[in-house]
Amino acid sequence: MKNSILPVIGMLVFAACSSPKYTYHFDTYDYNSGRKTSVASTEVSSPETVSPLLIDETTLAADVQSEPVIASERKPAAGVLDRNALVAKVKSMSTEEKKELKQDLKNFVKELKKAKKEAKNGQGVEGTKAWDHDLKMAAIFGVVAILLTAFYGISPVFWILGLISLVIAVVFFIQWLSRQ
């Protein structure tokens, strides 16, 4: 029996003492790699070190005869308001019309808020703060499980009861998640 355990212990010792496969070298990272370098600080390579496959700046020339590319004016999609037209329309309104527009916008926002509250089935803020029954039971059984497993030193019965209550807590939690 001792002869079959010795190689296993030896492999565990060698595995524990081996260096990790992936290590990070803090001294080799260049922390300034993301910063832009200025043109004056860049080093110009000497003609002896330049590869013959690289193109010189003198061989590159811009085509002066071609026309510049102008971005086409973007049109709004159907159903989307054009911002410039809307701004022009608001600027052309009188002060009374602007006041009416503000009042209409305020009323519209109030109606939206009211509809949103009604969509919550009349629960309001108090209804959203309340816990579901299954979530409440999962939390209770979870706390009981932690307390019972903490009393394992007194008797192993507490540990068994703690595991049972943990399983019950997980069941209630899964039921709550399945309804969400």
The one-letter code for the residue type at 7 is P
**From CA 172, how far away is CA 135, in angstroms rounded?**
7
Domain boundary among 78, 95, 123: 123
Is residue 114 in a domain?
Answer: yes
Q: Which two tokens stand for residue 139?
A: 């939390």
Q: Are 159 and 148 in contact (CB under 8 A)?
A: yes
Same domain, 93 and 113: yes
**From CA 83, how far away is CA 79, in angstroms rounded?**
12
pLDDT of residue 142: 94
Q: Which two tokens stand for residue 116?
A: 């949103």
Is residue 101 in a domain?
Answer: yes
In 3D space, the residue among 159, 166, 179 whose CA is nearest the CA of residue 138 turns out to be 166
Same domain, 112 and 142: no
Question: Which residues neighbour 121 within 8 Å (Cβ) at sequence distance 6 or greater?
Answer: 127
**From CA 175, how far away is CA 77, in angstroms rounded?**
45
Same domain, 135 and 172: yes
Same domain, 174 and 135: yes
List the end-to-end C-alpha distance of the chain, in Å, as a whole number: 55
Same domain, 107 and 144: no
Digitized pLDDT (tens) for each residue of the chain, 180 residues in all: 557 777 778 777 777 766 666 666 666 767 777 776 655 555 555 555 555 565 655 555 555 555 555 555 555 555 566 788 888 888 888 889 888 888 998 999 999 888 887 776 555 555 566 778 889 999 999 999 999 988 888 888 999 999 999 999 999 999 999 987
Is residue 33 in a domain?
Answer: no
Same domain, 105 and 136: no
- Residue 91 has φ and ψ, to the nearest 5°, of -65, -30
In 3D space, the residue among 122, 127, 161 whose CA is nearest the CA of residue 144 turns out to be 161
The one-letter code for the residue type at 65 is Q
User: DSSP class of residue 165?
Assistant: H
If one counts the domains in the chain, the total is: 2
pLDDT of residue 131: 79
In which domain, by residue range, is 113 found? 86-123
Is residue 117 in a domain?
Answer: yes
Strand locations in 28-77, DSSP E?
A: none
Same domain, 155 and 175: yes
**From CA 163, how far away is CA 130, in angstroms rounded?**
28
**The overall pTM is greater than 0.85:** no
Is residue 145 in a domain?
Answer: yes
Q: Are 136 and 169 in contact (CB under 8 A)?
A: no
Q: Are 138 and 172 in contact (CB under 8 A)?
A: yes
